[in-house]
Structure formats: C-alpha cells, structure tokens
Amino acid sequence: MVAAVSVPSQAQTVLRGRLCDPAFVHSALRSSPDTNYSKLKYLVASSVSEACNNSVLLLGPRGCGKAAVVDMVLDDLRKEHPDAISVEIARQLCLEHQLSFSKMASSDDNTEFMIDMLQECGLAHKTILFVLEEFDLFAQGKQRLLYSLLDAMQSLTSQAVVIGVSCRLDADQLLEKRVRSRFSHRKLLFISPSLDDIQWLVEHLLILAKDSGLPAKYITDYNSRLTSIFSDKKFKGCLNSLMDADATTSNILRFLFRAVSYMDMESGFPSIESFLKALSSMQRQPKMDSLQDLSILELYILVCMHRLEDKEQSSYNFTSIMKEYRSIQDAYKTSDKYASTVCFRAFEHLLDRELISFGDNRGRNQALEYRPVKLLISSRELAQSLKLNTTCPVVLQKLFDRERYM
C-alpha cells in the first residue's frame, strides 16, 4: 500500500523544483521590456538577420544571471532559426590550453581551421555564435585566440557574433590595445536589482498557479497566506538585510530554498518564522557563537571594559580593567572574586578569540598589562550574549544596564 504523499510536501517539491530550474527563474524576464535579455536578443537577432559581425560583453557579479540570460536568448534563437549553429567555448578550453594544442598540430592550424570554418559558414549564410565564458581568463597571456577570432570577424566572408561573459567589470580594460580596438564597445551591465524587483521576483517564484497539480483549496489558502507574509514588515526587513550583504539572484534563490525547506509540515503553509530561520542560518555570526561560550569571569572583563568606555576613558589597559573589577567586587561582594593571574588568563583567552585586541601596533617591549586594549564587539552583541548566557549572574546584567542596548 503506497502511503499518500501529503499535500504540503507535494507543494514543497513543486516549489523546490521551480527554484532549481534556471529557465523558470528567469522566464519572467521575457515579458518585461528594456532588460538585458531583450537588449541581447535584439543584438543577436539583428546580427543574424543582417548578416553582419558583432561582439558584446556581459558583465556582472557572479550569480546575477548572465549565463541564464545567454541560454534563454540561445533557446529563443534556436526556435526561430532551426538551422543556426551555436558553438560554446567554455573555460575548460582555456585551462586545457596545453592539452588541446598537443592533440592537434599547432595553434596556427587551430586558428586556420576556425577561420576556414567561419568562411564556410559565411558562404552558406550561417552565423556562428561564440559564447566565451570567463572572458577575463582569455585575456591572460598573449590573447592570441581572441585576436585571431576578432580579426577573422573583420573580413566580409565571415558572419559571427562573439558574446563574452565575465564577472570582472573591467574585462575590456584587460584586453590589449589591438584586441580592444577590434572588439566593439558594447557592454551589458548586470546591476543588482532594486527592492521592488526582488519582491516581484519572490512573488513570481513562490506564488502557485492554478495548474500546479495541487488541490485548488490548498492553492488559494497558500497564496493568501503568502501575500500576507509579503506585506509584513518583518519580511521586508529580512529581505533588506539579505540584500545589504549580497544582492545577486543566486543569493535570493538560496534563501528561498532554505525557507521552503523549513516550511512547517504540521500546518502545511509557510510562515514568517521559516523565512527568519532561513535568514539566520545564512547569516551566521561566528562571534556570537564564541560569545555564548564565555565563562563568567570573561564576561566580567568585557563588562568592565564596556563601563570604562562608557566613562569616556579613551584608552585603558589591563591594569585599569583590574581596578574597575576590584571596585565592582568591593561594591557588590559577589562570589566571583578571582586573583589577578586568573583574570589575566581569561584576558588572554579573550585576545585569542579576537573579542578584544590591542589598540596600538608597537609594543613588543611593553608588558602586556600596560598595552592599551579595545573592544571588538559592539554593545548590542555584548547585550545579546549576556541575555543568552544562562548562567550569567543578575549583578552583571544590572551592571551592564542592558536595556540601553537592546
């Protein structure tokens, strides 16, 4: 007896499938005008129909969808012109430079072959599309391949379009003068999308259409819940903090994939918590992890340093921290009074963890106790760690005056 797959897990599968399919992700681009997709398509289509040579560079950070746009344009062209040829020279050819040239006779033969092929195809009225990924790697060394390719395109007998894809924004500055002169100045920059575009993309990816193969009632419930999440301020804040670090499409896809995977199977619907959980799993804070592991004495030291900073002491060292520590112990008579040597060990431990550091760059001669130190964590992080530390004594929390910073 086959156990029926529950509707939520079906939905999860559908969504995950969508997020992993680049064709679906970027299909929304087909409809909007004046995107890089439409510009590239116009360029290639007009070169093919007018039988003239052209070259273009696609530039943008990794993961912003350049290769996807190229694939989409190629797919469209294949449908329109079933007899057009396309050749892909991937980065492997560049890395295996030595290998491929030992198999064949010489680079001269290679380029002659390429030029002959270009001529043949030109006579047969077929256009060749060269897609050069990792274009900046081709610009290393003497750039012979690029030169031969672009030079061959200068003759009337060839019809070719060269599409270079690179993540370096100054890829055309890497070219030699003569290669750059032969390469047209056309560049398509893939800049990071605005917040509205991202919101629109997220909706496009997550909203289920009527024909997704799931029960209709589930779909309507799902869509309404999702729309309410999207208008929630916390979700917008979540997207904002994600975009502040890395605004590329692949980052958004990773985030959405995790959110879909954290979907609560009991209720069967996505919730704002799954998005927040996905965000925190992506934006890990190693410092917070190490702050949570600290001992009480170390926390005391950090709080003392913070109080000293609060008191507007511009520079302080271990000795002044000890003074502050003693004064606290005298005032509150806690059980956490330790000797100076023990405190110094804790101090060194904090230095190792890079939660504090020395404030000057010299000082090999000076003893460690007298070198100025400073905090490397913010007040907010300290407050959070005090909150999360279950064994933290109340006195410490009062000393820190936590409320100010949370």
Partner 1 sequence: MPTLRSATANGSLVGTPSPAAASTPRSVKRRLTPGRTGESPDASRHTSPHRFPHAGTGTVCIPKLLSASPKSSRKRLYSDLVAVEKPKWNPRDAAQMRAVKEALHVSTVPSSELVCRDNELRRVLEFCKACVEQEKAGSLYVCGCPGTGKTLSISKIKDSLVCWVDEMGMETPDSLAINCTNLANTSEIFGKILGKFQNRKKGSSKLSPLQQLQSMFSNKDSAPRRMMLVIVDEMDYLITRDRAVLHDFFMLTTCPFSRCILIGIANAIDLADRFLPKLESLNCKPLVVTFRAYSKDQISDIVKHRLKDLEYDVFEPLALEFCARKVAAASGDMRKALGVCRSAMEVLEAKLQYSPDQELGIVTFDHMDIALSKAFKSAVVDSILCLPQHQQMVLCALANTFQHCKKKATTLGELNKSYIEICRSTQVPAVGMLEFSNMCMVLSDQGFMKLGQSKEDKLRSVTLQIDRSDITFAFKGNRFFQKCLEQPRC
Residues that bind partner 1 (CB under 8 A): 50, 52-53, 59, 61-62, 101, 106-108, 111-112, 142, 144, 147-148, 151, 153-156, 167-171, 177-178, 180-182, 184-187, 189, 191-192, 243-247, 283-288, 357, 376, 378, 380
CA nearest 67: which of 34, 128, 31, 26? Answer: 26
Sign of the alpha-carbon torsion through 2, 7, 10, 12: negative
Based on CB atoms, which residue is closest to partner 1, 349 or 353? 353
* Residues with Cβ within 8 Å of residue 116, at least 6 apart in sequence: none
Give the shortest CB-165-to-partner 1 separation in angstroms: 13
Give the shortest CB-238-to-partner 1 separation in angstroms: 14
Residue found by looking up tokens 């003497």 in the block = 142
Give the DSSP letter string of 11-52: HHHHHHHHHT-HHHHHHGGGTSSSSHHHHHHHHHHHHHHHT-
Based on CB atoms, which residue is closest to partner 1, 37 or 222? 37
Give the shortest CB-158-to-partner 1 separation in angstroms: 8
Based on CB atoms, which residue is closest to partner 1, 18 or 182? 182
Based on CB atoms, which residue is closest to partner 1, 69 or 377? 377
* Residues with Cβ within 8 Å of residue 201, at least 6 apart in sequence: 25, 28, 193, 249, 252
Based on CB atoms, which residue is closest to partner 1, 84 or 376? 376
d(CA 280, CA 303): 26
Residue 74 tokens, joined: 């190629």
Give the shortest CB-229-to-partner 1 separation in angstroms: 23
Cα 265 from chain centre: 28
Give the shortest CB-205-to-partner 1 separation in angstroms: 20
Q: H or E stretch including 58?
A: strand 54-59
Based on CB atoms, which residue is closest to partner 1, 141 or 213? 141
Residue found by looking up tokens 């919101």 in the block = 199
Give the shortest CB-318-to-partner 1 separation in angstroms: 20
Q: Are 185 and 56 in contact (CB under 8 A)?
A: no
Based on CB atoms, which residue is closest to partner 1, 112 or 203? 112
Give the shortest CB-54-to-partner 1 separation in angstroms: 9
